[in-house]
Structure 1
């Protein structure tokens, strides 16, 4: 009887300790403005060009930073939408690096969302209207994981490609420094 009770307690303890993260397959919080109010900052667009405005992030949060499934989906979408053609595996190529501390337009979720949706002058295409909002947020979460911006237990661990760098869950967080601002000025700014 005691052995059976001990086995049940051991099994219950093991099951309780196995929770890594909750799986939310849809964003519980919508984080975009109600209407399309922002202008595109780039006329470059994938496929057929769309006219009109785009939505922006309403709050500076990423709904998927704590969701391992969504981060892995973001990694898949990053490759699927060919982000690696310009940004390589985050180390930069013809586009800026995404895993260092130098960010031209900001490394917070709201800024990354705006960069993807609006595009940026002289290079970054506007993907607003071409990529569903939910997928943009998954890419945002993955981009943040490249610079160590998410917990290591939810960051993707390895790639099936021949990338020789460290996987995302082994990278240390990089403090964001916007270009054109010295590190001393960045230290004085409120966060």
Structure 2
């Protein structure tokens, strides 16, 4: 009986991660207020992003949504499941337009020269942020506590919550 009571207390103390399936329209519109540097690399996310608690990189539900969009929109066909192909590798974190979230967001939204199409007319702002958050986690050099769920297909790269081996100087 004591074991059952302690189990119930333990489960009662667990807090579920928030899953918001639809962002309020004014918030979604504000998420488009990205300040990109004139050269198209880097910038500042909209203030509402910080007010939301930066969910697109730290929330497992948002990362799972980004992973699903990555598959649905055929990103693996050019990026070879993150390892590179006709598009750059996404698992090394070294990208021509930078690994920061604003650069990734603007690359998806506006496209880039020499092959990266613009997705502004195919995805909502919220979906672009979800996809950008997932891609940033793919190229992260350190592990995060939040990660999307596993795919059912065979894996050709390390899981998103696994960080690449760090180089230790001798």
Same fold (TM over 0.5): yes
Contact map agreement 2:111 2:118 (CA 8 A) in 1: yes
Larger radius of gyration between Structure 1 and Structure 2: 1
Q: How does 1:22-171 map to 2 (within 5 A)?
A: 22-27=18-23, 29=27, 30-33=30-33, 57-58=45-46, 62-148=54-140, 152-171=144-163
RMSD: 3.3
Offset, 1:118: 0.9
**Matched-pair contact (CA < 8 Å) for 2:58–2:146:** yes
Q: CA deviation at 1:103?
A: 1.2
SS of aligned partner of 2:58? coil
Shift, 1:164, TM fit: 2.9
Q: Is the 8 A contact 2:55 2:62 kept in 1?
A: no
CA drift of 1:69 comes to: 1.5
Unaligned runs of 5+ in 2: none
SS where residue 170 of structure 1 aligns? coil
3-state SS, counterpart of residue 140 of structure 1: helix
User: Greater helix share, 1 or 2?
Assistant: 2
Paired residues, number: 154
- Of 9, 13, 23 in structure 1, the residue corresponding to residue 10 of structure 2 is 13
Distance 1:70 1:19 in 2: 17
1:45 aligns with: none
How big is the shift at 1:157?
Answer: 4.3
